[in-house]
Structure 1
Amino acid sequence: MELLPEAIEGRIVELRPLTSDYLAPLATAAEHAEIWTYLDEATPDQNGVAALIDEAVEEQRQGLRLPYVIVERRTSAIIGSISFIDLQPKHRGVEIGWAWVTPSHWRTGAAREAAYLLMRYAFDHGAIRVVFKTDSRNTRSQRAIEGLGATREGVFRNHRILRDGYVRDSIFYSVTGQDWPAVRLRLEEQLGSLPN
């Protein structure tokens, strides 16, 4: 499995490797508190977004993450971010996480296509397992992951201690290589029915 930091183009969105060049538009997209409710970050200002970008780029340098910005193709607007995390080349597995889209683009297909594009890229490049996880309180995220066709695997209890001291349970989901052909077909049918 070899995942490289390269642009990935879809019908609705394009994923571009994250760099500090995207700071200003990403900070604008990120300025909504509801994005950060379960992401263990305060609503970041421009300095906070700069720190998140620096962290993501450093993790990429260490081989731990491949971060992207999500660009709406119709307007070229930066509308969010998504990453490959927990890269496991030896076991041919990867997680898709740190995914968020600015609220004006919720329920437009943008987030779904971004996740689809990363799944397609991962499976096309040798992955046999793609993982998603979410806070057990985040029912919107759970519905979105289930809408992708991922299988709920279980709950990691007391999985993480968040910034505010809350002890989070995490729900894990996966799509395996065996699942992917049917998941891919279903997602392509759904995404194909959406306007560009």
Structure 2
Amino acid sequence: MKPEAMTVGPVELSGSVVRLEPLSMKHLGDLAEAASHDQVWTYLDEATPTTEEPVAALIREALDEQQRGERLPFAVVDVVSGKAVGSISYIDISRTHRGLEIGWAWLAPSHWRTGAIREASHLLMRHAFNELGAIRVAFMTDSRNTRSQQAIKGLGAMEEGTFRNHRILRDGHIRHSIYYSVTAEDWPTVSRMLDAGRAARGLPTLG
């Protein structure tokens, strides 16, 4: 008999570096500022937004996908400034098979290497395994994006393989995508590793 399907819905998740808030239009001004850097969009296949409207369109798209049950988007909010500095989502949600992917993750360059995206991913993994009862959390990145690959490996995810010729990007580039995952069986060890890393940086554990 199959276990009950996952129930995935909006939730606020708090850490010591960032807070994840359900994405909404209230975050538009902050996110337009955070998104106005070319390097944010190198591997996300979107043009760099120069006004608020393209960012508003991305928010509307994310909320439409949420309404269809395909995505759960969050604003990544800096706990010190209270400003939204990026976004991250649950995507490819399989409620029946209790799996999902953490993706559509981007952050203002001012918050790179601050632990923000690491903590955001940790919060989402913790929620997925501990609260939603997920059995698999996946990550995917462009084969050229070595910075993202190292970050995902640093989260304790295992590389599963490469989807060759996975997507044709806006500029015509044929993208290969590398997949990673953490399973429910991996999670206790991964959770301890992530909390040990936080303790080493003087941060409280998330559990």
TM range (shorter): over 0.9
Q: Per-residue CA shift, 1:136-194, capped at 9, x if unaligned?
A: 00000000000100000000000011111111000000000010011111111212333
Per-residue deviation, 1:126:
0.8
Q: 2, 5, 8: which one pairs with 2:10?
A: 5
TM-score, reference length from structure 2: 0.92
CA distance in 2, matches of 1:188, 1:12: 14
Q: 82, 87, 92: which one pairs with 2:88?
A: 82
Report the residue type matching 1:56 in the other structure. A
Q: Per-residue CA shift, 1:3-62, capped at 9, x if unaligned?
A: 220101111110000011111111001111101000010111311111100100000000
Match of 2:58 in 1: 52
CA distance in 2, matches of 1:143, 1:13: 21
2:76 is equivalent to residue 70 of structure 1: yes
Q: Per-residue CA shift, 1:102-155, capped at 9, x if unaligned?
A: 111111111000000000000011100000000000000000000100000000
Per-residue deviation, 1:64:
0.2
| 1:1-196 equivalence runs, <5 A | 1-45=6-50, 46-124=52-130, 125-194=132-201
CA distance in 2, matches of 1:38, 1:195: 32
CA distance in 2, matches of 1:194, 1:14: 18
CA distance in 1, matches of 2:18, 2:199: 13
Quote the RMSD (CA, aligned, Å). Answer: 1.0
Ranges in structure 1 where 5+ consecutive residues have no aligned partner: none
Ranges in structure 2 where 5+ consecutive residues have no aligned partner: 1-5
Per-residue deviation, 1:195:
5.4
Larger radius of gyration: 2
Q: Is the 8 A contact 1:113 1:191 kept in 2?
A: no
How many percent identity over aligned positions?
A: 58
* Runs of 4+ displaced beyond 6 Å: none
CA distance in 2, matches of 1:8, 1:194: 20
Aligned to 1:42, the other structure's residue is in SS state coil
TM-score, reference length from structure 1: 0.97
Aligned residues: 196
CA distance in 2, matches of 1:188, 1:74: 21
Q: Per-residue CA shift, 1:49-106, capped at 9, x if unaligned?
A: 1110010000000000000000111221211100000000111000000001111111
